[in-house]
A = this chain, B = another copy of it.
Amino acid sequence: MKQIKHSSDRARSTPQAISPGPRGRSSAVDLRGEKTRARLVEAGLRLFGRHGPDGVTTRELASEAGVNLAAIPYHFRSKEGVYVAVAQSIVERLGGELVRVAERVNASLSQSQRRPRSELIGLLLELMTSMLRTICLSQERTLVGMFVIREQMQPSDAFNVLYDGFMRPVGAAYANAIAALRGLPADDTRVGIEVQMLVGQVLMFCIGRETLLRRLRWKQLDENHIREIERVMEQVVGQQFAGAR
Contacts and interface: CB of A to CB of B under 8 A. Distances in A.
Interface of A: 1-2, 50-52, 54-55, 57, 146, 149-150, 152-155, 159, 163, 167-168, 171, 175, 189-190, 192-205, 207-212, 214-216, 228-229, 232-233, 236, 239-243
Contacts of A51: 1, 54, 154
A188 to B, nearest CB: 9
A208 B200 contact: yes
Contact of A196 (B154, B175, B212): B212
26 contacts: A52-B52, A146-B154, A150-B153, A152-B208, A152-B209, A152-B210, A152-B211, A153-B207, A163-B214, A189-B216, A190-B232, A192-B215, A194-B232, A194-B236, A195-B215, A197-B236, A198-B201, A199-B204, A200-B201, A200-B203, A200-B207, A200-B208, A203-B208, A236-B240, A239-B242, A239-B243
Contacts of A208: 152, 196, 199-200, 203
Given A200-B203, A216-B189, A50 B194 contact: no
A79 B174 CA distance: 43
A200 B232 CA distance: 14
Contacts of A232: 190, 193-194, 197
A152 B153 CA distance: 13
A176 to B, nearest CB: 13
* For the complex of A and B, 10 pairs with smallest distance between CB atoms: A200-B204, A200-B200, A197-B201, A192-B216, A193-B232, A54-B54, A54-B55, A200-B201, A240-B240, A239-B240
B210 A192 contact: no
Contact of A228 (B146, B193, B214, B229): B193
B149 A207 contact: yes
A193 B55 contact: no
Q: Which of A54, A146, A228 has the most CB of B within 10 A?
A: A54
A109 B189 CA distance: 34
